[in-house]
Amino acid sequence: MELKGRTALVTGSAKGLGKMTALALANMGCDIVLNYVNSAEEAHSLAAVISQLGVRATAIRADIAHQGEVKQLAEQAEKWSSTGGIDILINNAGPFIRERRVFADYDEEEIVGLLHGNLLGVMLLDHMLLGGMRARQWGRIIHFGFGHAGEGRAWPHRAVYAAAKTGLVSFTKTLAVEEASSGITVHMICPGDIRGINKERTIAEVLHERDEESPLGRPGSGEDIARVITFLCLPQSDYLTGNIVDVNGGFDPIKTSIISQS
């Protein structure tokens, strides 16, 4: 229970990687603020499960792509906290269009939605919660990217998503430098191609399965991501900040995408 007395907000946490992260932080002693857009039933069910772990939990609906809803989420989360505010912010939520399309084939609404959901909304939420972290001289902020995002390479057919996330790389590093003296660390986690049910599975559940696309040989799991996040959130991890951490078993989504199109 090394994080007992802390409150964590995990965006997009009703299902998938966000859910596994919320459970991992709860098991470390954190009170948890879950966030969802459409998955109300799953979010409230997860809050009930987390409450049985001996910590507090709540679920708040908000779409990170909408500025007004980001503000409401920040205000409601801090008001709910019984530990002084939000100590740990996990920015997991972010829209993604799996269909491959060149930039010219996106419509304006999709471009704006992807940028707001993956970059602007994240920056605004950070900004709204930084004041409390500064006042307490302690905080952990985690952004989500994609494998090899830190290299800023071209990613054909993912132009808008990639631009938002690579912009977030620079912001992550800058914020880490600016807030280090306030006891706040900032990192980006870059998951591999973890799909479907594997997002909510443990390492033990996927350990002996084969994934021919993975250099490691096995598929990734939600626990692979959650374990790294909880490590970075520990008080003893304060000397680590500004890192772009690939958790992908050696998988390169950009290279794979280019090869598949050739």
Q: How far apart are the first and last CA of the chain?
A: 50
pLDDT tens for 160-196 read: 999 999 999 999 999 999 999 999 999 999 998 898 9
pLDDT for the residue 257: 55
Provide the domain limits for residue 40: 7-261
Total domains, the chain: 1
pLDDT for the residue 38: 96
Residue 102 is part of a domain; what is its CATH number? 3.40.50.720
> Which of 19-28, 38-47, 57-66, 253-262 is least confident?
253-262
Q: Is residue 94 part of a domain?
A: yes
pLDDT for the residue 260: 56
* Tokens linked to 79: 């008001």
Side-chain half-sphere CA neighbours of 113 within 13 A: 9
Q: Is residue 1 part of a domain?
A: no
CA distances from 129 to 86, 87, 246 (A): 7, 9, 26
**Cα(35)–Cα(37) distance, integer angstroms:** 7
* Tokens linked to 206: 């996927």
Average pLDDT of the chain, as a whole number: 94
| Residues 139/184, Cβ–Cβ less than 8 Å | yes
Q: Is residue 166 part of a domain?
A: yes
Cα 241 to chain centroid, rounded: 16
* Best CA proximity match to 65, nearest among 14, 13, 15, 120: 120
User: Considering just the CA atoms, what is the radius of gyration of the chain in Å?
Assistant: 18
Q: Is residue 26 part of a domain?
A: yes
